[in-house]
Amino acid sequence: MRQKLQNIKNEALAMIMQTSDREELENIRIQYLGKSGYLNEIAKQLKDLELSDRIEAGKIFNDVKFAISSALEPKLKIENCKLKIDLDPTLPGTHPPVGHLHPVTQAIEEISSIFEKIGFSRVRYPEADWDWYVFESLNMPPGHPARDTLETFFIDAPVHPKLGQMVLTTHTSNGQVREMERVGKPPVRMINIAKCYRRQSDISHTVMFHQFEGLVIDSGISIPHLRGTIDYFIHHFFGPDRKSRLRPFHFQFTEPSFEVDITCDICLGKGCRLCKEGWLELGGAGMVHPNVLKAGKIDPDEFTGFAFGWGVERTFMMKSGVKIDDLRLLYGNDIRFLNQF
């Protein structure tokens, strides 16, 4: 019996080793381990043995059965896989497409790193904020016509007894008085980049957009500091060929106020079909109004400051080589458009 079992084992293992064919392997399984296979035949004969022989033969029987099925099973599994999918593990894998940051996020990161290099701290303030921070503390009392230009979304929430109604921030200037409150005593060197909302949608406006707001307050801050900071930014963001100019303007929260223009990236200031006069408008800037300093509990006789607030999307679009004729494309989620940046 012992010899018989050994022979069956050797024979079966040799057959299994020699083949990878699924059908042959299946036949081997039926022949040795199947219902009327060799091993079951032997199991029947075990019953007729003397008890001590039966115990010994039973052990060998189990070993043989285990050896055959453990040689057979892994091979059958691999063969099954082969049948289902044509798997070639030596082929190189296909790489999933790798994305990149949205162009506006890239611009935000670039803008903040340019300002952080000269000591500005990046901050964020609420996107839904009180009237006081968005308008009133910025020298725009209720009913002031300057508010109308901002196309504000009002939030249906209880009115705060001191801070007024809650609105979606129309500009990042809401960070000015908030930053003065946070820092307490100058120096203040803030770069606030955040989402803003206005009821406007056309080729140069999206309802949600971003602004970056710079604010510097210290003793002896004057227009040349503003000028120098703007030149530094333009040089680093747009490249050394572009120039800027300050054009007198009016904002409630700065005095004097300016609009900052940059030379067109096509004609570099000479004037062309696209820009007409050679200059493109970037955004607002000015010297912080004394009333705004007072609202932030800073003494305007001791400290002065400058501020600027520009649209991220607009600034990004004016970068050399970036031509977008409809700003809304930035938020259309069309991967063919976004992949270009």
Cα distance between residue 208 and residue 26, in whole Å? 66
Q: Which stretch binds ligand DAH (CB under 6 A): 127-135, 202-210, 272-280, 281-289?
A: 281-289
Q: What does the DSSP 8-state code read for residue 289?
A: P
Question: Does residue 123 touch ligand DAH according to CB under 6 A?
Answer: no
Q: What does the DSSP 8-state code read for residue 205?
A: B
Q: Which stretch binds ligand DAH (CB under 6 A): 154-162, 178-186, 303-311, 314-322?
A: 303-311
The beta strand positions in 33-95, using DSSP E, are none
Q: What does the DSSP 8-state code read for residue 100?
A: -
Question: Does residue 286 touch ligand DAH according to CB under 6 A?
Answer: yes
Question: Does residue 179 touch ligand DAH according to CB under 6 A?
Answer: no
The single residue among 171, 178, 189, 289 that binds ligand DAH, judged by CB under 6 A, is 171
Question: Does residue 309 touch ligand DAH according to CB under 6 A?
Answer: yes
Closest CA to 167 of 130, 126, 207: 130
Shortest separation between residue 121's beta carbon and ligand DAH, angstroms: 16
Question: Does residue 261 touch ligand DAH according to CB under 6 A?
Answer: no
What angle (nearest 5°) sits at the alpha carbon of residue 112, between those of residues 280 and 322?
40
Exposed / middle / buried, residue 278 (Cβ in 10 Å: 0-12, 13-18, 19+) = middle
When computed from its CA atoms, the radius of gyration of the chain, rounded to whole angstroms, is 39
Q: Which stretch binds ligand DAH (CB under 6 A): 23-31, 112-120, 230-238, 278-286?
A: 278-286
Shortest separation between residue 95's beta carbon and ligand DAH, angstroms: 43
Query: Helix (H, G, I), strand (E, B), or coil: what is residue 90?
Result: coil
The single residue among 25, 234, 264, 285 that binds ligand DAH, judged by CB under 6 A, is 285
Cα distance between residue 332 and residue 322, in whole Å? 17
Q: Which two tokens stand for residue 253?
A: 């929260």
Nearest residue (CB) to ligand DAH, 65 versus 289:
289
β-bridge partners, 76: none
**Site size with ligand DAH, rule: CB under 6 A:** 11
Question: Does residue 284 touch ligand DAH according to CB under 6 A?
Answer: yes
Query: Restricting to residues 70-109, which ones interact with ligand DAH according to CB under 6 A?
Result: none
Cα distance between residue 247 and residue 257, in whole Å? 8
Nearest residue (CB) to ligand DAH, 99 versus 224:
224
Question: Does residue 305 touch ligand DAH according to CB under 6 A?
Answer: no
The single residue among 137, 152, 169, 173 that binds ligand DAH, judged by CB under 6 A, is 173
Question: Does residue 307 touch ligand DAH according to CB under 6 A?
Answer: yes
Maximum CA extent, the chain: 115
Shortest separation between residue 194's beta carbon and ligand DAH, angstroms: 12
Nearest residue (CB) to ligand DAH, 167 versus 307:
307
Shortest separation between residue 174's beta carbon and ligand DAH, angstroms: 9
Nearest residue (CB) to ligand DAH, 68 versus 168:
168
Cα distance between residue 310 and residue 284, in whole Å? 6
Cα separations in angstroms, 70 against 3, 4, 77, 82, 208: 21, 20, 11, 19, 65
Closest CA to 303 of 286, 320, 318, 288: 288
Tokens 């005593």 locate to 185
Question: Does residue 296 touch ligand DAH according to CB under 6 A?
Answer: no
Chain residues binding ligand DAH by CB under 6 A are: 171, 173, 213, 251, 254, 284-286, 307-309
